[in-house]
Amino acid sequence: MPTIEALLASAELPDSPSARLDAELLLAHVLGKPRSYLRTWPEREPSAEQCAAFAALLARRRSGEPVAYLLGRQGFWSLELEVAPHTLIPRPDTELLVENALALGPAGPARVLDLGTGTGAIALALACERPAWQLLGVDRVAEAVRLAERNRDRLKLDNVRFLESLWFAALAGERFALIVGNPPYIAADDPHLVQGDVRFEPASALVAGRDGLDDIREIVAQAPAHLEAGGWLLLEHGFDQAAVVRALFAARGFTAVDSRRDLGGHERITLGRWPGEPGQGEPHAE
């Protein structure tokens, strides 16, 4: 049988920008070992069944299927999350949203809402860092809600709950100190939708009308009815949409509107504060 070293050397993933990493992750998954095992024991010979399983995963990866779906898990923030094809794969760019939410949110107890929670990544990362916060994650897809609940239960985070809801539809009368979200923001005719890993992700979590802003418009319009006075709205968006999103925030009456850049220098999230001071009562009337 071929050795671990030989299997990795012969793994062909010509269209992957991270071919060696992909192969290592897939082989470690098949062996039920950490990646460090591959370097420690390169002369070990996996069984015939393990070699066949590895070959099958490589074939699926060559067809473009994301590694995260093949493994059934993805790292985000400090967490390891279960993922599935009915949810987006959590990406490092979204950690910028978590960082800014932690910086802007209250130091003490607060109610925080995560819109379009998917795997629960944002809500769970915030819940882990701020045990005093009470997190609510909502998603329109029932399977995503159940997946987020499994991630919560495995991580033993008891300050998070998840609910099936299309944005604010099931949240009448509820208000939050902080609302965060990574909504769909890709235009329907964007050529990237038929390229790379994104081909395998759910279109409903990616596409938002002709210009990619339909869901962001809806969220910005409705958020004030669910924000406490002085509360913040933070949304992830496309790298070239910041100016338009800032204008939407300002037109709706948000103050301190700003966009923050990711590690690549792109304006990736926009935030705004609903007028008023915390503890002064209701936000401005609709």
The answer to whether the CB of 223 falls within 8 A of the CB of 175 is no
Region class of 64: left (phi > 0), else alpha (psi between -120 and 50), else beta: left
Q: Which amino acid is at 40?
A: T
Q: Where do the domains of the chain lie?
A: 4-63, 74-273
Q: How far apart are CA 183 and CA 270, in angstroms?
A: 12
According to the model, what pLDDT value does residue 200 have? 58
**pLDDT averaged per 10 residues in sequence order, the chain, 286 residues:** 94 89 96 95 96 96 92 94 91 94 95 97 98 97 96 98 97 97 73 58 61 90 97 95 96 97 93 79 38
What is the third-level CATH fold of 74-273?
A: Rossmann fold (3.40.50)
**Rounded to two decimals, what is the model's pTM?**
0.86
| CATH 1.10.8.10 applies to domain 4-63 | yes
Report the pLDDT value the prediction gives residue 44, as an integer from 0 to 100: 95
**pLDDT at residue number 211:** 76
Say what the pLDDT of residue 63 is: 87
